[in-house]
Chains A and B, each alone.
Chain A
Amino acid sequence: MKLTRLAAAAVAASLAAGPALADLVFPSLSYRTGAYAAGGIPFADGYADYFTLLNERDGGIGGVKAKVIECETAYNTEKGVECYEATKGEGALVYQPLSTGITYQLIPKVTEDDIPMHTMGYGRTSAANGKVFSHVFNYPGTYWDGASIIVKHLLEINGGDLSGKKLALVYHNSAYGKEPIRTLEELSKKHGYELTLLAVDHPGQEQKSQWLQIRRERPDYVLMWGWGVMNQVAVQEAANIRFPMENFIGVWWSGSENDVLPAGDAANGYKALAMHGTGMDYPIYEDLKAHVYDKGRAAGAGDQIGTVLYSRGMYAAMLAAEAARTAQDLHGTADITAAMMRDGMEALEITEERMTELGLPGFGPSFKVTCENHGGPGVGMIQQWDASAKEWNLITGFIESDDSVIEPLVQEDSMAYAKENNIELRCE
């Protein structure tokens, strides 16, 4: 017990030293270590760099400086709790936990503490129902949208008919990986394809069995919900069994440079979902270069610029900044609180003109968040890997998901949650 008190005193001392300025605080629960570091680093860099740009170029958001507090979670739930508790007292406006586990854990907490949470393309899909989940947002698209978008893309390729086709889903055996199963099953009833499920246990270093099965059963298409080392191994194994890469489609978390580079040329043609553009062909990079990179203010090692996950971090930061701006307009004050931020997120509208203004024309979809719908439009694109040029190319425009299938699923799951936790419906 002696040790406890000693440690407690030291923690107290170091906590008291923390700054308390009236900035707009955007905590970044990042993971630059651990099994998923390769995914966490570029996202955190992109997130931080965008806010640095706003501070350097525009003097912040609406005249108030933005401050990114980074806290390392190592993708670990308990560290996530610690980070949440440590940062929320500093006036955190919005949380982006970038981990399914931490998201689930924070959903009741943020609602209680009146702080919004944005889980962009991950987390609890049914949180799209704003009637039940007042503080959770997952625009512009969810996993179930993603699954539906892939199927739509396949429909397009096959002239609108998938009956008799065989689809296989290779998924990470966790909450995250299991997300699309229900949607794909519902869609298979509608479109008449056959679905094979192949679970890969954490971490996914060894997938021989799964890929031998794919080789035997020769599905027409393989879908993948993977993360971390599982992605690299899957792409490599697919190449090894000479599975046609253009028939292999990953979710947006299985479609970064990290996932395809280890396989080299063999990964050529691999497809993945994209919820936003990638690469450095956007005007914003000129500003970033002038105000951030050249001044040596880039976050991290500065070697992730322009990658898919860097773009995603930047996109998340952009949406957060826009929501903050909306909140400032809405409440007529530049110094917004987390509760105002929530209102701003709920009233967020992203238009094509605004994106162009921000130097990101066509980067993401234009959409409008409403009280009922926190999930955005549910659109996404398909990108394809070009191994010789080492870059991702978008091969479709925005594809809309099949709302008639997804909407009932969202309703069902969110209502079950509402019932279990005695939540009263909003927006009525």
Chain B
Amino acid sequence: MFYREAGDFKTSYAEDAQTFPIKFDRYRYYFVMAVGLAILPFAVNDYWANAVFVPFLIWSIAAIGLNILVGYCGQVSLGTGGFMAVGAYAAYKLMTSFPDLNIVFVVILAGFVTAAVGVLFGLPSLRIKGFYLAVATLAAQFFLVWLFNRVPWFYNYSASGQISAPERTVFGFPVTGAATAPWAQYAICLGFVVVLAWVARNLTRGTLGRTWMAIRDMDIAAEIIGVNPLKAKLSAFAVSSFFIGVAGALFFAVYLGAVEVGEAFGIQKSFLALFMIIIGGLGSIFGAFAGAAFMVLFPVLLKNVLVGGLGWPTDLAAHLELMIVGGLIIFVLIAEPHGIAALWRTIKEKLRLWPFPH
């Protein structure tokens, strides 16, 4: 009844091309933004920030980045963990080498460093396709982790090889280090998410996004109609790695505060990111958010229900959690192989017709 285009007239091209053409969608979007920006920062405590919102927001950035590569450009990558490590270590080196540099620029620069590394490891994609490429990106994953563990320069020759984030401030408020207030952690991550999601949305519906999708759908055909595969694939690797690098930098500096590369950026992270975009929906920005929410929040929720709510022994709960998450992944893939985003689209279609059946 409320959810339809009828009566929602567009009088300019800009209006016609906007992200949310339906009024109801637009208001929903404004509402979510308002809650995220104006209400949540005042409501989050340590637990909510550290266990729920901050990881969710950071993983959203990583998922958007990976979605650009996998969902829009069709290049399957299992190197996400390694690229996040690049972002984290770049941020650490920048933070300790230039103590006066604002953390926001540190994170952005870390993203650019990661983009460069991403392009380097993206080069084989010009020759290698499909699963072969997926497994080939594992080379990046394992090599990068080994490198950061092995070369003392990356961790400033500390005795143990751990890196920890010193305190840095934005507008006088600490956002990294132990003294960070939960709202500040939340706010800086949200800031990055909003800006980067906006960038991703506009990149993917512009020329660049179209060339990516052309490559994804059939690269030879795309080449024939004049898309340069070299440019398209490498730009996808670069943009995607930039996002993932930013996520890695935030993951290290804002969320964890101290990391050990093998533990924090192992291969599990690569799989986790890939899960997010597949469960969420390939080739959809909303899907990246939905997938990140599913994979980050669901285990926490499950643990709280099983251990806190039902009082089960923690080990049984943990085993059961694995089974439930695994089972649900299979279930989602069977029920809706195109992810939560596709489910959402179906619901929207239904809503548009409601209350009439046709």
Contact = CB atoms under 8 A, between A and B. Distances in A.
> Does chain A touch chain B in the assembled complex, meaning CB atoms less than 8 Å apart?
yes
Interface of A: 1, 3-4, 7-8, 10-11, 14-15, 17-18, 30, 32-33, 41, 70-72, 74, 76-78, 81-82, 84-86, 88-89, 100-101, 104-105, 107-109, 111-112, 124-126, 173-176, 178-179, 182, 201-202, 300, 409, 413, 416, 420-422
Interface of B: 32, 46-47, 50-52, 55-56, 96, 146, 149, 158-162, 164, 166-167, 177-179, 255-260, 262-264, 266, 289-290, 293-294, 297-298, 300-301, 303-305, 307-309, 313-315, 317-319, 322, 340
The prevalent SS among residues of B at the interface is helix
Closest 9 CB pairs of A and B: A32-B315, A108-B178, A112-B178, A72-B314, A175-B160, A82-B51, A104-B258, A85-B47, A14-B304
B56 A101 contact: no
A74 B318 contact: yes
A85 B51 contact: yes
B47 A173 contact: no
B318 A72 contact: yes
A201 B262 CA distance: 9
Nearest to A10: B301
Nearest to B268: A76
B322 A108 contact: no
A202 B266 CA distance: 10
Interface centre among A105, A111, A178, A421 (most CB of B within 10 A): A105
B158 A416 contact: yes
B256 A78 contact: yes
B47 A109 contact: no
Given A72-B303, A77-B259, A174-B260, 17 more contacts: A3-B290, A8-B52, A32-B318, A71-B307, A72-B307, A74-B318, A78-B55, A85-B50, A88-B46, A89-B46, A100-B160, A104-B258, A105-B256, A108-B178, A174-B262, A178-B161, A421-B166
Contacts of B167: 421-422
A15 B304 contact: yes
Contacts of B313: 70, 300
B12 to A, nearest CB: 28
Contacts of A11: 52, 297, 300-301, 304
Contacts of B255: 81
A81 B260 contact: no
The prevalent SS among residues of A at the interface is helix
A33 B322 contact: yes
A104 B304 contact: no
B333 to A, nearest CB: 17
A184 B307 CA distance: 44
Contacts of A100: 160, 162, 260
5 contacts: A7-B298, A14-B309, A17-B308, A82-B51, A202-B266
Contacts of B266: 202
